[in-house]
Structure 1
Amino acid sequence: MSEKDVAGALGLAQKAGKISSGDLGVKDALSGGKAKLLVIAADASPNTVKELKFLAEKASVPVISCMKRTELGLCIGKAPRAAVAVMDNGFAGLIMKKWNM
C-alpha cells in the first residue's frame, strides 16, 4: 500500500491519543514497553535510526521506515518528526497491514 494510507492511519491514531512522538517520547514508549510499532522517517539521521532500531529490537517492536520527516510530522499535526511510536495494537496492526508487513 502507499504512504498515504499509512499517513491516514497515523492521523487517526494521533486523534485517538495512541501516538508518542518526539525524541524523548518515542524513547520512553520503547523503553517503557508501551510501543507496539515504530515508524521512522526515511530521511532521519543515521545515528537516530541506529539508536531507535536498537531500542525497538530490544523491546521486540516492529519497525517500518516511510515518509520524510516533514510528511511524518504533518500527518500527525506536528512539526517534522524523525519517528513516531504507535502505542495501540489495533492501530499498529492496521498500519502494518497497510504497509504489507
Structure 2
Amino acid sequence: MAQKKVFSYIGIAAKAGHLLSGEFMAEKTVKEGRAKLVIVAEDASDNTKKMFTNMCTYYKVPIYFFGEKTNLGHAIGKEFRASLVLLDQGLADAVEKQLNTINKDGSMDTYTRS
C-alpha cells in the first residue's frame, strides 16, 4: 500500500513539474541546493548508488533506495530511471513518510541518509 502511494506521489510531482530525473539532472540539482529528496533505484549500479550516497551526505539531502528502474520510470511516464529528485518540500515530506513506513514494516530494504 505504501509503495503504491510513493509511486503516486512521484507521478504527481512529475506532472506538477516538481521532479527531475536522470543521473545528470539529479546530480546538478543536488549540487545547486534545490533537491529536497533523492530516490535511487535499488537495481541501479553500485557506482551510481555510491556517487549519490556520497553527494547527498555531503550536501545533506535525504536519499532513499527504492523500487526498480522500470517502476520509477513508469511512475513518471518514462521507460526507466535510476535516479529521481523531488524539488517540492511538501511532496518530499509525503514521500519520505511513506518510505519510512515501508522501512518499519520490514517489507523492503530502504536506507536513508540525512
Alignment partners' CA distance in 2, 1:19 and 1:82? 13
**1:2 positional shift:** 2.7
The structure, 1 or 2, with the larger RCO (C-alpha pairs under 8 Å, 6+ apart) is: 1
Task: Output the aligned Cα RMSD.
Answer: 1.1
Task: Provide the identity percentage.
Answer: 36
- Deviation sequence 1:16-60 (CA, Å, 0-9, x none): 100010111000111010100000101000000000111111110
Unpaired runs of 5+ residues, structure 2, are 102-114
Give the unaligned 5+ runs of structure 1.
none
Match of 1:53 in 2: 53
Cα distance in structure 2, aligned partners of 1:52 and 1:28 = 11
Instruction: Measure, in 2, the Cα distance between the counterparts of 1:33 and 1:79.
Output: 27
- Normalising by the residue count of structure 2, what TM-score does the alignment of the two structures yield? 0.84
| Corresponding position of 1:42 | 42
Letter paired with 2:49? V
Name the SS of the counterpart of 1:7 in structure 2: helix
2:71 maps to 71
How do 1:26-37 residues align onto structure 2 when only pairs under 5 Å count? 26-37=26-37
